[in-house]
Structure 1
């Protein structure tokens, strides 16, 4: 993760969570998608593939199944839904190009 921070020119802040904590991963994804983290084209897809798909989907499914905490089950459902929608968008971009996907998502 520290190499990724360097590649994306993200300054490492001293936090109590480790760099691979799911909240930090989600913050970086939001910044890449929303543009608050300036990065080369495709950086969001690269980051998603390298640091999200490897474990976060399973994490959110497990969190969604939490029997003892309704709040965390909802967070898990939201995270799982985000990952599935991002995977769908990436597949669309690979198959038909970004412009086509942008048009189709407007009509969905």
Structure 2
């Protein structure tokens, strides 16, 4: 074991930016997707689907929750039974799900999960 000098000060580590939670909808299929990112959501969409078979313009941002990215895992687990694979995106993105009710009830469901975690 080496002794550390009492004058040693570790380099400050930048704190990671809090992630945003986002809800997307594919207009072509009616499927929804929940994800988290620390960057702009539009940039995230273009990175994920830049070489896909369908145009990125069919993906609509429904809602973004700031600083709630940590909830993504719990929300995806809540919707696990609704998960389906997207017919256009065959690149491993299986976190799409089919929600049969209207968007406002989906948003309320997500917000109730977020409020139960905070």
TM superposition score normalised by structure 1 = 0.25
Higher helix proportion: 1
State the structure with bigger RCO (CA 8 A, min sep 6), 1 or 2: 2
- Tell which structure's C-alpha radius of gyration is larger: 2
Normalising by structure 2, we get a TM-score of 0.23
